[in-house]
Amino acid sequence: MANLPPLSDYERMRADRIERNNARIASLGLLDVRVGKTKPASTPNKKKRTVAVTPSPTRASKRVKHPVRLFQPSFDDFPVNARSENRGKYVGARVAKYFDNGMFLGTVTAHDTENDWFTIVYDDADKEDFTREELMEALVLYQREGMGIEASAKSAKIEVKAKSKFKCENPLNTSSSPLSAIQKKIISDRLKGDFLGKFEEYLTDVDVVSESNRRNVLRQITKLANGEGIRYDSKAYGWPEGCYFMKGVKIGPRDDILELMDMGQECENEWGRDHGNGWLLSHPLKKLYQFQQYCLEEKIIYI
């Protein structure tokens, strides 16, 4: 053992003091606290084992995010020799189609097997030919929307007398028109015998409207110009049998159009109002009146 230098007086006094203090602390039972037991090595906290829970997928319905996809039969699924027979089964089916002025319902009335066209007659008596693709779209649209609209309309149908005493007689003649003889001559000279042709040009080039709008207006005014009259053929709101607006009298731009509009409103009040937002009478007659005034403008010259 190496020789250590002797303790100094201070070191001996310090050592004696520590020994006395330890003896005193031991007598009080505080030695463990003062000296301290060896602290056991702390066991690192183990992470609690967690079970990964896979959340259940949120239930989602494609019916909410996407429109209903109904079964659409394809004619190509049928044998060639059986296609004509199967296509014929759609005659009588109800269809629906959207135009600018809303949805129109109709019925398949015929099938041209040679050209593969389906004839559709709408409830307002208008006709249109569908390709097979257009037919399938119209059938699906009717099932998705048209069927419910038609059912609601039937439940809310306004009752109209089967036999109405009201007669829509044409009160118009040459003397009743508010136009002067000169104004009538101006209109006649400018139309050059082609009233409907000039009227279509007006709707195409001057008072420009959509194709469906123009088609509907021309259809209704053509009926009046030919003396066929106009009838409301809606299955839900249609007029009683035999009720026509101005049947048997040819109407043109020389007549009292404003009086015609009043008579049309009277027909609706008596037989049932138009649920097509004025496309039956009001809108076509309004366009006819605007055309009349257009013809009377001095600066307008038809070539």
Q: pLDDT tens digit string along 3-30?
A: 667 778 778 888 887 888 777 777 776 6
How many Cβ atoms sit within 10 Å of the Cβ of residue 82?
Answer: 9
Determine the pLDDT at residue 288.
94
Separation CA 103–CA 105 (nearest Å):
7
Whether residues 94 and 191 share a domain: the answer is no
Whether residues 139 and 193 share a domain: the answer is no
Residue 172 within any structural domain of the chain:
no
Whether residues 132 and 188 share a domain: the answer is no
Q: Domain of residue 92: give its range.
A: 68-155
Write out pLDDT tens, residues 109-147.
Answer: 999 888 888 999 888 777 888 998 899 998 988 888 877
Whether residues 100 and 137 share a domain: the answer is yes
> Among 105, 137, 155, which residue terminates a domain?
155
pTM summary value? 0.48
Whether residues 151 and 185 share a domain: the answer is no
- Average pLDDT (70-79) is 44
35: exposed, middle or buried (C-beta count within 10 Å: 0-12, 13-18, 19+)?
Answer: exposed
Whether residues 115 and 202 share a domain: the answer is no
Residue 262 within any structural domain of the chain:
yes
Whether residues 194 and 288 share a domain: the answer is yes
Determine the pLDDT at residue 242.
87
Residue 261 within any structural domain of the chain:
yes
- Produce one character per residue of 124-147: b if its CB has 16 or more CB atoms within 10 Å, e if not: bbbebebebebbbbbbbbbbeebe
Query: What CATH number should be reported for the domain holding residue 76?
Result: 2.30.30.140
Write out pLDDT tens, residues 195-222.
Answer: 999 999 999 999 998 888 899 999 999 9
The number of C-alpha atoms within 13 Å of 142 and in the hemisphere containing its C-beta is: 19
% of the chain at pLDDT higher than 70? 67
Number of domains in the chain: 2
Whether residues 150 and 234 share a domain: the answer is no
